[in-house]
Every structure is written in structure tokens, then in C-alpha cells.
């Protein structure tokens, strides 16, 4: 089983995790998020390092994975579990060379072709999005929708993490694509119920609707037939 088959992958945001980023992340993990990505496009390396250090302590204590976005130097400095690079960051192949397994390398890829390249470059998982409309990041691309996400899932052998506009209202359809996890920012950290309750609800809905999850195996046949729209 991939360490990424964790359901909910919480991604931090300096605005949406205010006023207490560490406390917000703690709640998300306690609610059931299995992995945390530190993502902050505005922080200096020194600021990012300080946050990463605090999150390293927290995730180690609570048994969650820590992934650092963009910055392999910061990821190395705090011995993160993973680093996540996009198409505008240092090349995935170079990151892989400096970040041997079992450390995790995630690569953003919004098309099947880019996902295949990421896999060849040595990615452990692909992040694919935006799945739905999102106000958190200006991507300049139209949403993939669950169908587009499923095409990426089917294009590679490595796990795919869906991202973008995922909330409790649509996470089941993300799980149904065969994606290994749902990466969530606003749906966790801007949910009025708070990150703990939001994570718990997202996690439960993901697990129940993931075709390969333990929940799915315990509910064979009929559960899948319903998800696939087949006969009961
Ligand atoms: N990459 C594609 S969409 C996105 C990123 C980082 C933002 C996801 O944020 P939200 O709030 O979960 O839509
Ligand atoms: Mg990046």
C-alpha cells in the first residue's frame, strides 16, 4: 500500500490558516488528515524553514507525513517525508536525484502527458488539478472535472492526488476516480465547521467512496456497482 493512500492531504495556506497555522494543522491531523503539505508562496526561506521545523515536530508526534512544497532545500533541512515540485520548480528528475526513496517526490501534472513524464522522472505521486473551480489559486486552466482526473489516474501507475475546489460536497466523486488522495486547502481551513470536523467528514467520505480503500474492500460488489452507476 502506498503511503499516499491516506485519503485527505491537507495543504496549508498562509491566509486561510490564520491566525494559528500550527494549531489549524494540528486540528486537521486530529480530524484524520494523513499528510500535510507546507505551501507558502510568500514566505522567505527562513520563514518557511521555521514553519517547516514546527510542522516536522507536530507531524512526527501525531504520525502524519510532512511534505514541503517548492523548496527541496527546506525539505532537506527539516528531514521532511516529501517534497512537491510543480512544472515551474526545479526539474523533477533533478529533485529525485537529490531526494532518494523512501523520501516522497510529488510532481504537479495537469495532463496525462505531463503525468507520464513525471512518472518517468521518478515521481512517487502526481498532483493533478484543479479538479473543480477554486479561488485559492489562479491556475488559468479550466477544471479537469472528475472525468479528467480519472484519465490521469488511468494514464500512470503511481498514485494520483486530486487538488482544487475539493469540499465535503464533492470529495466522494474524487475518491470514485481512483485517486489515492484528495488535497484540500479551503475545504479544510476555510470550512465554517473548522479543520478538525472538516477533515473528519472529508476523510470518511473519501474512504467510503474509494474503490481500493479498506472500506471499499469490506463493501464489495454492490458498493462498486452503485459508484459505477451499474445495476444494484
Ligand atoms: N493547485 C491546483 S488548485 C490549487 C493548487 C495548489 C489550490 C487548491 O486549493 P483549494 O482551496 O483546495 O481549492
Ligand atoms: Mg511549486
**Cα–Cα distance between 101 and 140 in angstroms, integer?**
33
**Cα–Cα distance between 181 and 105 in angstroms, integer?**
15
Choose among 27, 81, 80: nearest CA to 51. 80
Cβ neighbours for 70, distance < 8 A, ≥ 6 positions apart: 39, 41, 84, 85, 86, 89
Tell me, in angstroms, the distance from the centre of ligand 2 to residue 228's CA: 34
Kindly state the cell numbers that stand for 12: 496549508
Tell me, in angstroms, the distance from the centre of ligand 1 to residue 82's CA: 18
**Cα–Cα distance between 157 and 69 in angstroms, integer?**
22
Helices (H), 4-134: 21-31, 45-62, 72-77, 92-97, 112-120
Report residue 5's pLDDT band, with 50, 70 and 90 as the boundaries: confident
Query: Is the distance from CB of 21 to CB of 51 less than 8 angstroms?
Result: yes
Tell me, in angstroms, the distance from the centre of ligand 2 to residue 71's CA: 8
Residue 61 has pLDDT above 50, yes or no: yes
**Cα–Cα distance between 184 and 170 in angstroms, integer?**
11
pTM score, whole prediction: 0.91
User: Which residue shows C-alpha cell 527562513?
Assistant: 46
Pocket probe mutation, ligand 1, options 24, 38, 137, 171, max atoms within 8 Å of Cβ: 137
Residue 58 has pLDDT above 70, yes or no: yes
Residue 225 has pLDDT above 50, yes or no: no
**Residue of the nearest CA to atom 3 in ligand 1?**
164
State pLDDT tens for residues 99-138: 999 999 999 999 999 999 999 999 999 999 999 999 999 9
24 is a catalytic site residue: no
Quote the pLDDT of residue 6.
Answer: 63
Annotated catalytic residue: which of 26, 56, 71, 108? 108
Pocket probe mutation, ligand 1, options 8, 9, 11, max atoms within 8 Å of Cβ: 11
Mean pLDDT, range 44-57, rounded to an integer? 97
Q: Provide long-range contacts, Cβ within 8 A and 24+ apart, for 17-21.
A: 17/189, 21/51
Compute CA 27 distance to the chain's CA centroid, rounded to the nearest angstrom: 17
39 is a catalytic site residue: yes
Residue 93 has pLDDT above 90, yes or no: yes
Phi, psi of 107 (to 5 degrees): -130, 130
Is omega for the bond preceding 19 within 30 degrees of 0, making it cis?
yes
SS3 (DSSP) at 106 = strand
State pLDDT tens for residues 6-49: 699 999 999 999 999 999 999 999 999 999 999 999 999 999 99
Q: Which residues surround ligand 2, an ion (CB under 5 A)?
A: 70, 86, 89
Quote the pLDDT of residue 224.
Answer: 33
Annotated catalytic residue: which of 26, 39, 103, 207? 39
Least confident of 105-109, 178-182, 216-220: 216-220
Nearest-atom index, ligand 1, CA of 134: 13
41 is a catalytic site residue: no
Residue 206 has pLDDT above 90, yes or no: yes
Mean pLDDT, range 143-156, rounded to an integer? 98
State pLDDT tens for residues 74-87: 999 999 999 999 99
Amino acid at each position: 500500500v502506498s503511503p499516499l493512500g491516506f485519503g485527505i492531504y491537507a495543504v496549508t495556506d498562509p491566509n486561510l490558516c490564520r491566525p494559528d497555522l500550527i494549531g489549524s494543522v494540528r486540528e486537521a491531523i486530529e480530524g484524520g488528515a494523513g499528510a500535510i503539505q507546507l505551501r507558502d508562496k510568500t514566505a522567505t526561506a527562513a520563514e518557511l524553514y521555521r514553519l517547516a521545523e514546527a510542522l516536522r515536530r507536530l507531524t512526527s508526534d501525531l504520525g502524519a507525513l510532512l511534505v514541503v512544497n517548492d523548496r527541496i532545500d527546506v525539505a532537506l533541512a527539516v528531514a521532511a517525508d516529501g517534497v512537491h515540485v510543480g512544472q515551474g520548480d526545479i526539474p523533477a528528475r533533478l529533485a529525485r536525484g537529490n531526494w532518494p526513496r523512501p523520501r516522497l517526490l510529488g510532481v504537479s501534472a495537469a495532463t496525462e502527458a505531463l503525468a507520464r513524464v513525471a512518472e518517468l522522472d521518478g515521481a512517487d505521486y502526481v498532483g493533478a488539478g484543479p479538479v473543480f473551480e477554486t479561488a485559492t489559486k489562479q491556475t488559468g486552466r479550466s477544471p479537469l472535472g472528475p472525468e479528467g482526473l480519472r484519465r490521469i489516474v488511468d494514464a500512470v501507475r503511481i498514485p494520483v492526488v486530486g487538488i482544487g475546489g475539493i469540499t465535503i460536497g464533492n470529495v466522494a466523486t474524487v475518491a470514485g476516480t481512483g485517486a489515492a488522495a484528495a488535497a484540500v486547502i479551503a475545504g479544510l481551513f476555510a470550512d465554517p465547521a473548522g479543520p478538525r470536523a472538516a477533515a473528519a467528514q472529508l476523510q470518511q467520505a473519501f474512504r467510503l467512496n474509494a474503490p481500493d480503500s479498506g472500506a471499499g474492500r469490506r463493501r464489495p460488489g454492490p458498493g462498486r456497482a452503485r459508484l459505477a452507476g451499474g445495476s444494484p
